[in-house]
Chain A
């Protein structure tokens, strides 16, 4: 029971933390709940479809179908998250100018939340498909005590969702003045994490042949499949033995979003001095 709880906990944790952070980062935007719920619901629906067609997907692209699809999903989530991060830095200033251009802000807002809804949907889809396959495997195997395993899976799911709720409550308790900076920093780390996972998938699929050697190995001190390792993996993209490609993608994504945000902010600053 504990084993199945842990497996489902790990799968649901990543998506739940993603949603919790995104929900906190967008909490003052109109209609954000609807966008996030829609994204998550479509992700769930997609994960059922993906789980059901896993056999066909696996056979595509000469047996590399899963990797190609994973790379596409990760790229899409990363692009959407990056776009949102860059856009949201302009939001603080827009809030100040709200009185002057309410109309254009509402317009931008709709676009940005569309991006975040896709990012949420893709995250739920990736983690959800694995969970669906795991649970359907338990239910189909009819091995003794499958009810207990299923109950464990349910507990794991609840625990994962609970962690998402916890980070949301934690982030929204931060003083209004800092909540924007803190939740945006978390979004940046999530983007780095997605980029690192993308690098891993590209190596696995043999699409990129360079930088695949592990730079270091901290699996002895902090294994990735231990609860703190899982938490750090989901929050910061912790990898016990990252490859050079993963580290490069991780830092590259964060640097790109940070620099792009600065440029956009500088371009918007009426005084001409970047904030």
Chain B
């Protein structure tokens, strides 16, 4: 009975994951918050050789631009909005990112290990 339940649940879970994130079901998600023009946490970790989805929630009322030269990403995140930045697969190392509109305070690092 338990096996039967699992047989039903696994495809259901897979299906719901696929529907929620079409084409990115297996991606690792990382959470990042922008508050007072700072990234929290300032350092996030992720696995190598995988696609990563960095979810950024800008909790400030002003817009910010997530930018990284080493990751080659730039995305404007309006005040109060959320954005997803897709990166990877990446090699192990440290990838710096910053908020272009507040570069003095908004600094962060993605550590790939």
Interface of A toward B, CB cutoff 8 Å: 3, 7, 54-55, 58-59, 62-63, 66-67, 130, 133-134, 136-138, 140-141, 200, 203-206, 214, 219, 223-225, 240-241, 243
Given A130-B65, A137-B101, A141-B62, the answer on whether A204 and B73 have CB atoms closer than 8 Å is yes
What are 10 A-B pairs with beta-carbon distances under 8 A? A54-B63, A54-B78, A133-B65, A133-B78, A134-B63, A137-B63, A140-B61, A141-B60, A204-B86, A224-B69
- In whole angstroms, what is the CA distance A224 to B43 when docked? 23
B 44-71 contacts with A by CB, 8 A: 60-65, 69-70
Given A7-B100, A134-B101, the answer on whether A240 and B69 have CB atoms closer than 8 Å is yes
Residue of A nearest to B65 (CB): A130
- In whole angstroms, what is the CA distance A205 to B86 when docked? 8
Residue of A nearest to B87 (CB): A204
A interface SS class: helix
Q: Which of B72, B79, B82, B103 contacts A3 (CB 8 A)?
A: B103
| In the complex, number of A-B residue pairs with CB atoms less than 8 Å apart | 68
B 64-96 contacts with A by CB, 8 A: 64-65, 69-70, 72-79, 81-84, 86
Residue B7 at the chain A interface, CB threshold 8 Å: no
Given A63-B84, A137-B63, the answer on whether A54 and B76 have CB atoms closer than 8 Å is yes
Residue B104 at the chain A interface, CB threshold 8 Å: yes
Contacts of B22 in A (CB 8 A): 62
| Closest A-B pairs by Cβ, 7 of them | A137-B62, A55-B78, A133-B63, A63-B84, A141-B62, A134-B101, A54-B78
| Contact A200 B81, beta carbon cutoff 8 Å | no
- In whole angstroms, what is the CA distance A257 to B62 when docked? 42
- In whole angstroms, what is the CA distance A7 to B74 when docked? 14
- In whole angstroms, what is the CA distance A55 to B104 when docked? 24
Contacts of B74 in A (CB 8 A): 204
How many whole Å from B99's CB to the nearest CB in chain A? 10
How many whole Å from B31's CB to the nearest CB in chain A? 15
Contacts of B72 in A (CB 8 A): 200, 203-204, 214, 241, 243
Given A7-B100, A63-B84, the answer on whether A58 and B69 have CB atoms closer than 8 Å is no
Q: Which of B73, B76, B82, B103 contacts A133 (CB 8 A)?
A: B76
How many whole Å from A200's CB to the nearest CB in chain B? 6
Q: Which of B61, B69, B73 has the most CB of A within 10 A?
A: B69
